[in-house]
Amino acid sequence: MTAYIEILMMLLILFDMALLGVSRLRTCITVSSLQGMLLGVFTVFGHTHGITLRILLIAAATFLLKGFVFPRLLRRSIREANAGNELEPYVGYSMSVIAGLVMLGAALWLGARLPLSSAIGIPLVVPAALTTFFTGLFLIIARKNALTQCLGYIILENGIYVIGVAAVVEIPVLVELGILLDASVAVLVMGVAIYHINREFDHIETDRLDTLKG
């Protein structure tokens, strides 16, 4: 089992690097969708307590939401906003991947220091989760396109989700479902916001939203 989980975590990190290095928005969304499905699988196997109905329910909800619903929403926003690529990000793509490697290093260091990793028994889980968390944060900060920022938020949530599954054994199912619901509404609200931005400004480049200052 440990070997499978390690492979899943390696894939998680690879997806993060792909997100940092790819400029085409549609490809980014596909990668995020794969990552979402991976999280669904991880929910089933990442638990130390065996498979229960509760875990299957949450896994299924995650798999569907992050694997299919979010990417669908994002793709629709792309069509509406007619946005293809991120043209000039604040940080270039190769630099982003290098930053990703630095974040991976930081995550490994932090993962070793936080007393979380010992609790699960598999040392790679916490660093992988933190890398995903940092990647999400990086996408929000270093990209100008509102859609990429929204994608960054989803990736950020993914990172926290992995920690939640692995490090926190018993969160009541109602709370977990509430959290998933909130995350999906957040993505929906961002989608609507992007629609409004596009309608008012004819673009979704957030660096050009600069009328409010001071």
Partner 1 sequence: MQYTEIALWAALAAPLCIGLLCTILPTARIALGVMCGCVLATALAGFFAIGAVYTSGTVFIASSWLFLDPLSAYHYGVLLLVFCLSSAYAWVYFSQELRAGHLDRRQGRLFAGLWCEACAAMTLVLLSNNLGIMWVGIEATTLVTAFLICIQVSRQSVEAMWKYIIICSVGMAFAFMGTLLIAASAKGLDLASHDALLWTVLRENAQRLDPRLIKAAFIFLLVGYGTKAGLAPMHSWLPDAHTQAPSPVSALFSGFLLSTAMYCIMRYMPVIEAATGNAGWAQRLMIGFGLFSLLIAAVFIASQKNLKRFLAYSSIEHIGIIALGLGIGGLGVFAALFHTLNHAVCKTLAFFAAGRLGQLFGTYDLREIQGALHRSPVWGAGLFLAILALIGVAPFSLFMSEFFILKAAIGKELFLVAALLLIGLGTVFICALGYLLPLCWEGAPREKSEPGRFVTGEAFLVYIPLTALLVLGLWMPEPLQSVLQKAAHIISGAAAATSLAGIRP
Contact footprint for partner 1 (CB under 8 A): 114-116, 119, 133, 136-137, 140, 146, 149-150, 153, 156-157, 160, 163-164, 167-172, 175-176, 178-179, 181-182, 185-186, 189-190, 192-193, 196-197, 200-201, 206, 209, 211-212, 214
Q: In this structure, what token pair is assigned to residue 199?
A: 């309608």
Helix and strand totals (H; E) in the chain: 9, 0
Task: Report in angstroms how near the CB of residue 15 gets to partner 1 at its nearest.
Answer: 18
Q: Indicate the length of the chain as a whole number.
A: 214
Residue 94 CB, shortest distance to partner 1, in Å, is: 25
DSSP 85: B
Nearer to partner 1, 3 or 202 (CB): 202
Q: How far is the CB of 188 from partner 1 (least distance, A)?
A: 8
- Taking the C-alpha atoms of 136, 67, 9 and 115 in order, what is their torsion angle to the nearest 10 degrees? 60
Residue 174: how many other CB atoms lie within 10 Å: 8
For partner 1, the closer CB: 3 or 172: 172
Q: Report the half-sphere exposure of 193 (CA within 13 A, side-chain side).
A: 14
> In angstroms, what is the minimal distance from the CB of 101 to partner 1?
22
C-alpha angle 1-179-6 in degrees, rounded to nearest 5: 20
Choose between 7 and 36: whose C-beta lies nearer to partner 1.
Answer: 36
Smallest gap, in angstroms, from Cβ of residue 167 to partner 1? Answer: 5
Residue (2 or 211) nearer to partner 1, CB: 211
Cβ proximity to partner 1, 3 vs 175, nearer residue: 175
Report d(CA 19, CA 13) in Å as an integer: 10
For the bound state, the minimum distance from the C-beta of residue 110 to partner 1, rounded and expressed in Å, comes to 9
Residue number, 21 or 164, with CB nearest to partner 1:
164
Distance CA 95, CA 187 (A): 27
Residue type, 206: T
